[in-house]
């Protein structure tokens, strides 16, 4: 019997009865929020989890001795390359990579390599890291990119990725980076599926975690109030934030539960594959669905080439 999960499903419910003994799984961003819960739930079901974090002391405090840790600052390509080199030198393979780390709605800033903070951290850091360690992925393995419904704020801008000529907006920048996460999954899946390696992108849902540290509380309240007005007009129930275990559920579902062909090259949310929504459909009122531009294989190839150009490395 196939189990059906939804927005309220938790990590423990999704993984109920799943034995991950012998599986080695890498999770980025394990110092807080979804990353901690993702690592915990996978380790609890027998997986050997390697957690990557910028702040190792903080990661140790919140994870205890449950997982192996590696230092990774996605806003520094030197750190990214050093972390990848350490894993390659170690040589042990992975069955899953979950690219969970990220930042949201930051003030205008640059990474140490001069990239706009959100695009550089959320996309380019993972782009280099995952591509560099791709040889460690076993046949049958998966890559899970954490995106967001925020990708609907904006497509990528391949002409001005660093806002050198475009007025900066924190949420437009976030949308670009989250669209890039989906397009990377599409591009990576296309390159590796012939070897039995699949990639997918997931939207965890609305969760109150440290990701929102740059948002003023009033801004969050205003967003929720506006969303609830639109939902009420449509006769729908008010918006509810997910718990952290509910938010991490789609990540582990896509990583080890769903069939690879079901999720490969797709956008997932609430423990199922999301549908395409029209570009003219309201951003805030749409509770589910992906914009077509985020799953466009041609856009994925253009972004891949632009990313290689920006980081000075071919994959």
Residue 28 pairs in a beta bridge with 52
pTM: 0.94
State the chain's mean pLDDT as an integer.
92
Tell me: the pLDDT tens digits for 250-294? Answer: 999 999 999 999 999 999 999 999 999 887 776 654 568 999 999
Which pLDDT score, from 0 to 100, does residue 287 have? 60
Q: Are residues 7 and 31 in contact, defined by beta-carbon separation less than 8 angstroms?
A: no
pLDDT of residue 223 exceeding 80: no
Which pLDDT score, from 0 to 100, does residue 217 have? 64
Break the chain into its structural domains and give their ranges.
Answer: 11-207+243-309
Cβ-based burial of 241 (10 A; exposed 0-12, middle 13-18, buried ≥19): middle
Q: Work out whether strand 24-28 and strand 290-291 pair parallel, antiparallel, or are unpaired.
A: unpaired
Going by pLDDT thresholds of 50, 70 and 90, the confidence category of residue 228 is confident
Going by pLDDT thresholds of 50, 70 and 90, the confidence category of residue 202 is very high
User: How many Å apart are CA 145 and CA 165, to the nearest integer?
Assistant: 28
Q: Which residues are catalytic?
A: 147, 174, 178
Which pLDDT score, from 0 to 100, does residue 1 have? 53
Tell me: the pLDDT tens digits for 78-119? Answer: 999 999 999 999 999 999 999 999 999 899 999 999 999 999
| Integer angstrom CA distances of residue 295 from 143, 181, 265 | 16, 10, 8
Tell me: the pLDDT tens digits for 25-49? Answer: 999 999 999 999 999 999 999 999 9
pLDDT of residue 2 exceeding 80: no
pLDDT of residue 232 exceeding 90: no
Token pair for 117: 């903070």
Going by pLDDT thresholds of 50, 70 and 90, the confidence category of residue 211 is low
The hierarchical CATH code for the domain 11-207+243-309 is 3.40.50.720
Mean pLDDT of all residues in 128-149: 97
């Amino acid at each position: 019997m196939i189990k059906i999960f939804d927005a309220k499903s938790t990590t423990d419910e999704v993984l109920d009865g799943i034995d991950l003994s012998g599986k080695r799984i890498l999770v980025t961003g394990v110092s807080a929020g979804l990353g901690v819960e993702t690592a915990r739930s996978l380790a609890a079901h027998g997986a050997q989890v390697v957690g990557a974090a910028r702040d190792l002391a903080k990661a140790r405090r919140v994870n205890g001795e449950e997982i192996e840790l590696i230092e990774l600052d996605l806003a520094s390509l030197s750190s990214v390359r050093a972390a990848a080199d350490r894993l390659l030198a170690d040589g042990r393979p992975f069955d899953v990579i979950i690219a969970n780390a990220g930042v949201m709605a930051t003030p205008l800033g640059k990474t140490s390599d001069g990239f706009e903070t959100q695009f550089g951290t959320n996309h380019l850091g993972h782009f280099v890291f995952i591509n560099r360690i791709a040889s460690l992925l076993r046949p049958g393995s998966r890559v899970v990119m954490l995106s967001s419904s925020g990708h609907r704020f904006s497509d990528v801008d391949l002409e001005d990725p660093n806002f050198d000529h475009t007025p900066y907006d924190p949420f437009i920048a976030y949308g670009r980076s989250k669209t890039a996460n989906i397009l990377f999954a599409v591009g990576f899946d296309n390159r590796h599926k012939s070897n039995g390696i699949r990639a997918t992108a997931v939207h965890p849902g609305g969760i109150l975690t440290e990701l929102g540290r740059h948002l003023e509380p009033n801004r969050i309240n205003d967003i929720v109030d506006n969303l609830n007005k639109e939902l009420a007009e449509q006769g729908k129930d008010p918006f509810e934030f997910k718990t952290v275990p509910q938010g991490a559920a789609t990540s582990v579902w896509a990583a080890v539960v769903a069939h690879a062909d079901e999720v490969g090259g797709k956008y997932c949310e609430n423990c199922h594959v999301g549908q395409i929504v029209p570009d003219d459909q309201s951003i805030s009122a749409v509770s589910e669905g992906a914009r077509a531009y985020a799953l466009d294989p041609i856009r994925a190839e253009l972004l891949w080439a632009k990313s290689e150009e920006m980081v000075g490395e071919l994959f």
